[in-house]
Structure 1
């Protein structure tokens, strides 16, 4: 990635896939403590209309959690890294019973950690489990080691992700790239140039899918990140400004 290469202006005929935490909102010490900026839901709704509905929020949060913050049930979305989909074809997912059984051991390991370290926070998404250690950064290696043992016992059913002050365990079949592929199978996303915007390791699968399809991949954050994204925006505020370019053009054209 060129560290200082800004993306081209957004176009109405692209398909947009936006991460949530760290991309549309600033990361907070706890997932429930994020602040949605004034007017963001309205701007996203307007942007979706400008793109003829080809906008989806693709997040590790559950859809129920996402809706509590954005309240945009009419906008397409993928939750829990694509295990939950609204507005697209669901990816093929094998029998979930073994995965859920394997997650019980991960859940037990996470709860034991939280009992020992009160600064850890468990985010149980039902079909994925995240342990946040932002309040205790030194515990990151211990959290990763402990959960890695439980993941190893599950064979190839689960995978472990290390993000920004969080370690997450999810089904191996679930990733944001697969969610993007599923959306691109159907209208209004099909046939459009895909654009994925994200800030963390879980977004790399989305970048890879967009790159393979000749699309736009945008990493959010300071320069120097190791990423497959081809462009960069500095912050969620910069993402908002970039998206606003399309709305501004639409308003000028209409006036």
Structure 2
């Protein structure tokens, strides 16, 4: 990561002029919850993203660790691109999808994770098309055990360990959020614009580095830390306020 030696400024209101916008989901657009299935976008967020996508002529994508199909379920027919499973899979307006072959050892990994969760109260297993995650936000005492299990399973099945906030995930080895943004920036309608990416987690650092390399800017959501982002916003509410004002400035 790039060392942060000074406080990161708030992004300017005109940052989206001529830009493509890439958004993480959990911790950026919605607050983190103990259970990932409890997260649902509210009507204000749905309307806001519709406005943003319209203002940017479709240059809007959600780049998330969640499965793309879950984002579709939550947002319905809003016409933005989704890169799910940490940049492994893609879903485009109109229904076209793209992704690698499924990891062959994933069913065994999920079985081991479920066995672990059954023996530790408060631990949840989240299954995805290209991976699975162990959430221990309600059982922080098992963090070391969960991390060790994930590392063992990754070696045994050729998967990538993806750390997160109070969770650990195993996923297909191909791709990350930075690679996803780079790919989309080579496609219409994103090509030829300047990328801006908002994210809160260490999993978003690949995205921050990618947009910086493409002449764009990353926006860290949350507390100051070492990061490749150029700007910072305090949290989810600050994100929504800035997006609303940025769209007004853009229009």
Query: TM-score under structure 2 normalisation?
Result: 0.90
The alignment partner of 2:62 has SS state of: strand
Q: Distance in 1 between matches of 2:151 and 2:109?
A: 9
Gaps of 5+ in 1: none
The corresponding residue for 1:136 is: 139
Deviations 1:142-180 (A, max 9, x none): 1000111111123xx311022101100111212111111
Deviations 1:199-220 (A, max 9, x none): 0121111111001112110110
Give how far 1:73 is off: 4.2
The corresponding residue for 1:158 is: 159
The alignment partner of 1:25 has SS state of: coil
Answer yes or no: is 1:147 the counterpart of 2:156: no
The corresponding residue for 2:184 is: 183
Give how far 1:36 is off: 2.2
Q: Map of 1:1-255 to 2, 5 A cutoff? A: 1=4, 2-9=6-13, 10-87=15-92, 93=100, 96=101, 100-154=103-157, 157-223=158-224, 225-250=225-250
Rate the CA distance shift 1:3–1:158 in 2: closer, same or farther, 3 A. Answer: farther
Kept after mapping to 1: 8 A contact 2:58/2:79: no
The alignment partner of 2:215 has SS state of: coil
Structure 1 consecutive aligned stretches of length 4 or more whose deviation exceeds 4 Å: 88-93
Query: TM-score under structure 1 normalisation?
Result: 0.89
Kept after mapping to 2: 8 A contact 1:87/1:183: no
Kept after mapping to 2: 8 A contact 1:199/1:219: yes
